[in-house]
Amino acid sequence: MYSSSGRITLFSLGCGYKVRNSGVDFIAICSNTMHKCIPAIREKTNIPLLHIVDATAKEMLKNNIDSALLLGTRFTMEEEFNIKRFKENGISIIVPRR
């Protein structure tokens, strides 16, 4: 596991270059932690990418749900990248305290 955001970003950029040259049409990332690197990946690939928060928020709002409990790795719950994205989508997020 890459614990510092700098190392994650470097790893993601390397993957981004490989993905860009692979000929894929779409990117799906199945890890909340890796979503912190989406801006860098988008910058390097120009390939459409599904953001897990956007898809989740869309489904929640469709069902008149506007708040949720966020459970995940400590990194996902302590960092603001997904929480901020939920707020931008109109969803209030509650994170458990230690």
Task: Please name the helix (run of DSSP H) or strand (run of DSSP E) that holds residue 27, with its range, or none.
Answer: strand 27-28
Structure tokens at 42: 């988008």
Question: Does the structural domain 52-98 have CATH classification 3.60.70.12?
Answer: no
| CATH 3.40.50.1860 domain residues, the chain | 52-98
In this predicted structure, what is the pLDDT of residue 23? 79
pLDDT by residue for the chain (98 residues), tens digit each? 344 555 555 555 566 667 667 778 888 888 888 888 788 778 778 888 889 999 999 999 999 999 999 998 888 888 898 999 999 999 999 999 86
| Full-model pTM | 0.72
Q: Which token pair is 57?
A: 């928020």
Tokens, residue 97: 């305290």
